[in-house]
Amino acid sequence: MKCRVSQQCGSCQYIDMDYQQQLQKKYNYYQDLYRDFHVSVHSIHGMNNPYAYRNKVIVAFNQKYEYGLYEEESHKIVPIKKCLLHDEETHYILDKLQCLFKKYRISIYDNKRRKGFLRHVLIRRAIQTNQTLVVLVVSDSIFKGSKNFSQELIKFCPSVKSIVLNINKRQTSIVLSQQEKVLYGKGFIVDELCGLTFKISAQSFYQINHEQCTKLYQKVIQLLDVKDGDVVLDTYCGIGTIGLILASYVKNVIGVELNTQAYKDAINNAKMNHVQNIHFYNQDATEFMKEQARLKLKYDSVIMDPPRAGSTKEFIQAIHKLKPKNVVYVSCDPHTQVRDLKEFKKIGYIFQDVYFYDMFPHTEHIESIVRLSYSKI
């Protein structure tokens, strides 16, 4: 498949390259990052069909009501009618939104003049349940005709189970604000992953590639090699996906998440799945770890899935004091993972294998997993 706007958009660096060549190119580059550790770097787990995999899409509209993605490193919109990474339902909904914006004469926000109503549209898809959350990012909380607008959209698009107004008055590049107003539905959708049900709201962290996420989480469970009586700490836990999946294998799981909305979703997800042996804390992961180390608490294993910036030296020093038998480190940026692994090596935690998952086909990004075990220096 060929992308018509690949040169202007720049979001998918490898979209015009054969998929197997993409995997090999990424493997050659990323395996080199780990060469100083002298470990086994396994081949990348790719996809059978590496298209239409994104379950989260953010687009902007121009003054002609054309929707698209931003040109790389600019605020210029590249109009698209079809992105190869978005599913058909997403495009169908965007087309209907386009018609409704024209019909209701929705003014498009102008970044230079700082005037207009609609700034962005966020669409989140629950692939297994075929539910869609539509988030309209706007500059004002007053949306005249919102009830009729919502009724028309859900009439045309039955998969839309909730419509949310996100009011963002800030002059920054950050898309979403904390202020929201539900126009239709409950303000969230529900998806199924690894046999459990998860609530997804506008700001929830949820992996964008359902198929690859399932494979990755299964690998995490395998690497942890837990026992019935184990207590596991799940740091940077988001909406609680990994911890909730793991809960049936162990005695207790403790989840830690800084984002308040994701933390609330994690609690609701535990209730929704009737999981009683998991507890969540709304704290910064590093501060929580320092506190646990000070209290000299015991954990058999720790899961860490930090943001692209990676973890901190203080977090790793806390691991040194807690001394869990295993640490499974999931990373969306091997560069920062390698930096952190060097710190782990200093405190006696070593690893033998690196596993790659192509969570983001057609881009230069990749997800990596290692299992660290304590070995006396």
Residues recognised as catalytic: 332
State whether residue 341 is helix, strand or coil.
helix
Cross-strand partners of 372: 327
DSSP structural state of residue 60: E
Amino acid identity of 300? D
DSSP 36: G
State which H helix or E strand residue 132 sits in. Answer: strand 131-138
How many Cα atoms within 13 Å fall on the side-chain side of residue 158?
A: 1
**Would you say 97 and 122 are in contact if contact means Cβ atoms under 8 Å apart?**
no
Read off the tokens for 243: 């911890």
Contact (Cβ atoms closer than 8 angstroms) between residue 332 and residue 323: no
Q: Report yes or no: 216 and 194 within 8 Å, Cβ to Cβ.
A: no
Q: What gap in Å lies between CA 363 and CA 227, rounded to an integer? A: 37
The sign one gets for the Cα dihedral 10, 12, 16, 20 is: positive
What residue type is 258 in one-letter code?
L
CB of 326 within 8 A of CB of 351? no
